[in-house]
Structure 1
């Protein structure tokens, strides 16, 4: 866990001990200054942390002998707003930061600036891209910039490839074809910069931990959504898998078992990734050409995907970027089940593609405060096309700008 002070005593104790040192994830500045040149310098510092995340503490100076001392700044002079403006206007693309004010006993205080790992990294300041070395800021060369931008693009493509493989390896043979009886939902999330064994202790340390993560998340979804079937609570079997552990209704070896409409599978892997399957995104119960799409169930499951990722981040101390993706099948000629009953189906907006797929990314710090954000981003295009987005947004009690209703 990275150091984060809560009081002036925390800062004084660390500077007095000699353990405060600039590193890949932490830098200290006595002040940010008011000149344009000083603001550009601060922008370079902020941009340098955007790749892997880090923090900048304002109000701590460095002596010639490389020891640190406390030098509180005027925290009521608009300095917080200055920092936010620098991050928004001087760094390109704009950078999200979080500024915590720590008051000093004798007036003034310190600013602890958290720079989360950015999905848009690398970031530029004053015409150059920056990153962090072992202890200090450094310029990125052209090859590094190209690699990072390629990694950002490759992350989305990698998620799409995982979704495609989940579809191709669906345990229900007919679901792999172009005319499935039931539409299936495939969900995938992964920590972008996590290690292969990031969640190994979580997965293999305790069977109860996997169960708790999978089942406790449902309680955080609004009641009207979590009661829709099939629910994650059906996944009563815990299975060991090559990549991790799964709560599932499937038989050993992921063999089909029981009613396909109630089949669910949630696998948490040792690299921290999540792969889930829900087998009732649509069905053929209506007579005629229209198929009901279970859009409320779609939203409930996608919401839980963000909650699972949040829990894994908390258990593994992962603070980077998460990549998310969903793929839905069996959607051609489908209409919203939520807002259109059997009698009104012929007048309902019709989805015009057999497959829906969407990929997004979210920072861990956003997941902590807003675990439903991936669900909104992943489902909104489909739900808007079905005409059910505004109704579901109200059900979820989301404060959505009218533009997006």
Structure 2
């Protein structure tokens, strides 16, 4: 993966001994707000582990790397003993930092005489600043330091403003609904879902290639399950002034096929948006009345596809950090689940729309399938609760219309 080492410095790959040495000799690894060097780490005592927690917490404000095996004064690459260090870092980040962090510990960079370099990527945290021993930590040009009360308040205020702005941008996706461009006689009154994912910190990234994005979408595991491919059918170029866009077709379809239509965009700043026409659909009931039905199975599958695509794009673009991810669904009022609708006992969704968002770090997941399904259900929690399906599992939802 490529590492961001601060403004004016190139993205740097540190996966071999020679690359680490070249970066050190070229001045790229000088300690600054984005880089912390350790020649070695001491025994696993409370004092040493607390110092390690402070290093990790301080880097989480803007993101950065912690490197073991490089001298912090001379930048000499000397290597160190790394056995057990990976687990130790993860445990310290999870138990000694509040809220806990999930740094990305990369594979050992092997050197001579059995001595290695270990690079730890600390992504920028949406929940920063983080506390160790009742103090919040950040960084300056000289390394880690305790943040003052005004600095902490400023960071928390900025975090709240980012969240508010994210929700406004998420809801704003419905104002320029791309699904309406794909359906005849739009708007039809069917419910659509709009997904938004933003990296929690701006990270330089090359634009994703169209062929690479199509490859990712065609190989989504959750595109091979359920009723339709959805995002897997997005192979036609769309028009998005902010980046690369793909959609399910270039010709408009009839309203009865609206639930199959989808669109996804990856913007130049790595923001990802997607839209689905399958939140609700009008279906004729036994009395030949047209009623609004919630397509919970389609939504569960689409949400899982979006999260899986987000993870694959993160890996492809080298972004290891956190994402703010949300969904906004509209035209829900009066919709009922298909089974309730068919049986004649139909609790109807009580409002026109619902919005929900979470913070995730998909490249750090040890069990991606489990995490994808859990996040998909969490994103749709309000939608499902309004339909009386708050206790339904992902697999049960996937079996529905």
**TM-score, structure 2 normalization:** 0.75
For 1:121, the equivalent position in structure 2 comes to 128
For 1:184, the equivalent position in structure 2 comes to 192
After superposition, residues 383-402 of structure 1 pair within 5 angstroms as 383=384, 386-387=388-389, 390-393=392-395
Residues 70 and 245 of structure 1: is their aligned pair in 2 closer, same or farther, counting only changes over 3 Å? closer
Work out whether 1:61 is the aligned partner of 2:71. Answer: yes
Per-residue deviation at 1:359?
0.8
5+ residue gaps, structure 2, are 4-11
For 2:8, the equivalent position in structure 1 comes to none
Per-residue deviation at 1:257?
4.1
For 2:149, the equivalent position in structure 1 comes to 142
For 1:213, the equivalent position in structure 2 comes to 213
After superposition, residues 279-290 of structure 1 pair within 5 angstroms as 279-287=277-285
The 1-side partners of 2:212 and 2:87 are apart by 41
After superposition, residues 13-92 of structure 1 pair within 5 angstroms as 20-34=29-43, 35-62=45-72, 66-70=74-78, 72-73=80-81, 75-76=82-83, 79-92=85-98
For 1:377, the equivalent position in structure 2 comes to 378
Q: Secondary structure at the match of 1:187?
A: strand
1:156, 1:360 within 8 Å by CA — same for their partners in 2? no
The 2-side partners of 1:129 and 1:224 are apart by 46
For 2:207, the equivalent position in structure 1 comes to 202
The 2-side partners of 1:235 and 1:217 are apart by 7
The 2-side partners of 1:166 and 1:11 are apart by 43
The 1-side partners of 2:71 and 2:64 are apart by 18
Residues 217 and 248 of structure 1: is their aligned pair in 2 closer, same or farther, counting only changes over 3 Å? closer
Q: 1:93 aligns with which of 99, 113, 127?
A: 99
Of 108-117 and 46-55, deviating more is 108-117
Q: Secondary structure at the match of 1:68?
A: coil
CA displacement 1:233-290 (0-9 Å, x = unmatched):
5556524333334334688xxxx94424434333333332233322231112133686
For 1:206, the equivalent position in structure 2 comes to none
For 1:309, the equivalent position in structure 2 comes to 310
2:57, 2:131 within 8 Å by CA — same for their partners in 1? yes
For 2:139, the equivalent position in structure 1 comes to 132
After superposition, residues 212-291 of structure 1 pair within 5 angstroms as 212-214=212-214, 216-223=216-223, 225=225, 227-228=227-228, 231-232=230-231, 235=234, 237-248=236-247, 257-260=252-255, 261-262=257-258, 263-287=261-285, 291=292
Q: 1:165 aligns with which of 172, 177, 180?
A: 172
The 1-side partners of 2:316 and 2:102 are apart by 24
Of 306-315 and 13-22, deviating more is 13-22
5+ residue gaps, structure 1, are 204-208, 398-405
Per-residue deviation at 1:182?
1.0
Size of the aligned set, in residue pairs, is 373
Q: Secondary structure at the match of 2:71?
A: strand
Q: Secondary structure at the match of 1:382?
A: helix
The 2-side partners of 1:14 and 1:169 are apart by 45
Per-residue deviation at 1:93?
1.5
Residues 224 and 286 of structure 1: is their aligned pair in 2 closer, same or farther, counting only changes over 3 Å? farther
The 1-side partners of 2:24 and 2:272 are apart by 41
- Alignment root-mean-square deviation, CA: 3.9
The 1-side partners of 2:388 and 2:217 are apart by 27
After superposition, residues 343-382 of structure 1 pair within 5 angstroms as 343-344=342-343, 346-347=344-345, 350-363=348-361, 365-366=363-364, 370=368, 372=372, 374-382=375-383
The 2-side partners of 1:139 and 1:146 are apart by 13
Q: Secondary structure at the match of 1:246?
A: strand
Per-residue deviation at 1:367?
7.1
Residues 148 and 250 of structure 1: is their aligned pair in 2 closer, same or farther, counting only changes over 3 Å? farther
The 2-side partners of 1:336 and 1:218 are apart by 29
The 2-side partners of 1:162 and 1:19 are apart by 36
Residues 91 and 329 of structure 1: is their aligned pair in 2 closer, same or farther, counting only changes over 3 Å? same
For 2:7, the equivalent position in structure 1 comes to none
